[in-house]
Structure 1
């Protein structure tokens, strides 16, 4: 991944952010919640260190999707922007599609592939996990 400044935001520009460090990791999630949140067959996130991240315009609005996670969106245009989890408070997760230059980041793996739509198969060599990756202790899909 490139070092430097990473910026992004929503479709209308009301929500903007900046990260001054490279992402910790990138993940493509196939879970049902990510599909519903994004309206897409999968959702790609990058994790930035929280200490190197700031909202530089209005922050997103957050919607709690489980006891352990919230998903962010623009209150004006509805753009999907990110997710935050209790067990990952050291990082900020933003949707790759919200980056100004998404080609600057890399993906590390696919998660929740047991929920992958059968007609959506990405042809890459990234590791795949039936549920969460072994790299992070995610609880975003845990029920009450």
Structure 2
């Protein structure tokens, strides 16, 4: 079986990544950190082991902002695009909107974290 590669990056193209292998923990999150990081009521995430993510663009690794104990948010220093979060433990969580391919079935969220933090007008019905 061939190993899957998923490519993505920021709006201006300076930060590019290649994630390899099996994505994990596909979910949406509406916590206040995700809302502030993205400017949106909800972010969609997928996780990979740190060693499975390579920063391959001319800009190298994204800029990090220490957002909480155990995690730093990542973004492009040139265009400001949200890219994800790099955890202290060996996980890189990438926002699904930063991937080149938009219809990846393995990225379909399986749960919604902090759904109670969504505005009342924003609800996502996730098949269970």
TM-score (norm 1): 0.79
Q: Please report how far the alpha carbon of residue 115 of structure 1 lies from its aligned counterpart in structure 2 after TM superposition.
A: 1.1
* Corresponding residue to 2:70 among 68, 71, 75: 68
Unaligned stretches of 5+ residues in structure 1? 127-144
Q: CA deviation at 1:67?
A: 2.6
Q: Which runs of 5+ in 2 are unaligned?
A: none
Tell me by how many angstroms 1:49 deviates: 2.1
Aligned to 1:11: 11
CA RMSD of aligned residues (A): 1.4
Question: Do residues 78 (structure 1) and 58 (structure 2) align?
Answer: no
Displacement, 1:38? 0.4
Q: Distance in 1 between matches of 2:54 and 2:96?
A: 16
The answer to whether the 8 Å contact 1:48/1:92 transfers is: yes
Q: How many residue pairs get matched?
A: 122
In the other structure, the counterpart of 2:52 is 52
**In 2, distance between residues paired with 1:48 and 1:68?**
16
Partner of 1:108: 110
Q: Distance in 2 between matches of 1:21 and 1:107?
A: 18
CA distance in 1, matches of 2:41, 2:92: 22
Q: Deviations over 1:98-138 (max 9, x none)?
A: 00013112212110122121110112224xxxxxxxxxxxx
Matching residue of 2:27: 27
Q: Is the 8 A contact 2:110 2:127 kept in 1?
A: no
Which structure shows the higher strand fraction?
Answer: 2
Q: Which contiguous aligned blocks of 4+ residues in structure 1 show a shift greater than 2 angstroms?
A: 123-126
Q: Distance in 2 between matches of 1:45 and 1:123?
A: 16
Report how far residue 37 of structure 1 moved.
0.5
